[in-house]
Chain A
């Protein structure tokens, strides 16, 4: 498998665009309930603090601060873009699907219908050492959702 299948253009773009990045600068929608989660990978130092705002059972906003490799930063960016407007249950299901694909060691293909841009992380599943990089913000989102609920 070539490096380009891991570092797809969409991942490199998101690692720089960082959609939803900047907790302090993004105001929480009035009336939304929020949950926040901090996740750290002690092996590499990747770190994400992610906040979910839920309104009427829907994800109104995901914002985050983080530091880490291009995979972890792009993954948080894609997640923020993807999740907005989903119901809480839908997002839980998408997180579950993403985890299943990433832990499959390449056996389960990503379905763009379900994962949207996050399907680009399919290649990460073949790099066992990088799965946690892609998962870190999704784990944070899952934890934050449970708090906001």
Chain B
């Protein structure tokens, strides 16, 4: 059959990324062309926020130059144009993650998505108690005696909203611990999850350890318990092919600014049957059907969760970013970054006095590495690297409990993206090798 190709021919058709391609990609990113402290910028902080290609910057500019108007209202030309590109962007993003159009809700960022969800779940308890809304809310509502389960490696954004949900509802928060290598203890997860578990929330890929979590196993445990499964896709959606339907999670969140888009835009994915019955979090304009002085009825998702004037230009820019990633090929990006991640870890492990967190060299990880330098505080490491034009993140990376578990307060993290070369990694490694002697350790 002509349509079937062997892996070998596929390989020829779509070659793996290499430095030459990355150098071409870098031409699309104006910010990367500058000197920092007299040295070419080596940007290894994409895990915190990524840079924007011209196509994204231009998409936002084009919107303001040609189509700016409020969406979903007004019968004039610009309003129609704006609505069209805004909802077109939603279609692009839905397709990008394998979701349905109505299952793709705009948020400011992943943090807001998780807060939205947690407030929606405690509102569900209030609605159910008063017989308001769909009968299924009784099952979704989180209340006293229920359990919310997270993991020990979560970013604060996927921890604190659940702590507060537990506080508001009287539910108990529990967590799946990690082992010393940074992997989740699935055996303990199986013991923790049970019929009381209403929510299981975990990160797809750790922003500190670089581990990719076993989503399939965790979803199976969640299903067995009858819990809602929430995926933090902040470190996966920008870096690897993500299909929320294949993963079969109930909800997923990610931020635009970590995937080549501007700040101020993010996505909450939710299964349609859940989103359509869950109570809204923010209320106001644009999300209602009928309003009287006493009460209001709400639209189904996605508008149900999009009160007020939306982030229109940012949504358009996010769609442009998704297109950029799709055109480059996320499987290729993933493989390239995995190679950079391995190069980082292998190099770091060979430098005396460095402790790399998470999986050892040779084991699967995404394109980032956090590490501790014996005798030198992370802030000093970051300052030293900055003097050589190298941008990394220092601190607890919004994961204090994880650092405490590892016996550390702050680490240094290098995180790569599709615009980093192996030369970037080598420059970083060479600089790290000089840290301890500079600080006379």
Using a CB–CB distance below 8 Å, which chain A residues touch chain B? 2-3, 6-7, 12, 16, 43-46, 67-71, 127, 130, 133
Q: Are B380 and A43 in contact (CB under 8 A)?
A: no
Interface of B, secondary structure class, is mixed
Among B380, B387, B396, B438, contact of A69 (Cβ-Cβ < 8 Å): B380
CA distance A16 to B440 in the complex (A): 10
Among A3, A16, A46, A67, max chain B CB count under 10 A is at A3
Q: Are B409 and A67 in contact (CB under 8 A)?
A: yes
Sample of 15 more A-B contacts, CB < 8 Å, known A46-B379, A68-B377, A70-B377: A3-B383, A3-B438, A7-B383, A16-B440, A43-B395, A44-B378, A44-B394, A44-B395, A44-B410, A45-B409, A68-B379, A70-B380, A71-B380, A130-B383, A133-B379
Count contacts on B: residues with CB < 8 A to the other chain: 16
Among A43, A45, A67, max chain B CB count under 10 A is at A45
CB nearest neighbor in B for A47: B409
Q: Are B384 and A71 in contact (CB under 8 A)?
A: no
Given contacts A44-B379, A45-B395, A133-B379, contact A3 B387 (CB under 8 A): yes
Among A67, A70, A133, contact of B439 (Cβ-Cβ < 8 Å): A70
CB nearest neighbor in B for A73: B377
A interface footprint on B369-384 (CB within 8 Å = 1, 0 otherwise): 0000000111110011
Cβ < 8 Å to A, chain B residues 419-441: 438-440
Minimal beta-carbon separation of B379 from chain A (angstroms):
4
Q: Are B409 and A2 in contact (CB under 8 A)?
A: no
- Chain B residue numbers with a CB within 8 Å of A67 are 409
Q: Are B380 and A45 in contact (CB under 8 A)?
A: no
- Chain A residue numbers with a CB within 8 Å of B379 are 44, 46, 68-69, 71, 130, 133
Q: Are B396 and A45 in contact (CB under 8 A)?
A: yes
- Chain A residue numbers with a CB within 8 Å of B380 are 7, 69-71
- Chain B residue numbers with a CB within 8 Å of A7 are 380, 383, 438-439
- Chain A residue numbers with a CB within 8 Å of B440 are 12, 16
Counting from the closest, the 7 A-B pairs by CB-CB distance are A69-B379, A69-B377, A3-B387, A45-B409, A45-B410, A70-B380, A69-B380
CB nearest neighbor in B for A46: B379
CA distance A44 to B410 in the complex (A): 7
Among B377, B387, B395, B396, contact of A2 (Cβ-Cβ < 8 Å): B387
CB nearest neighbor in B for A3: B387
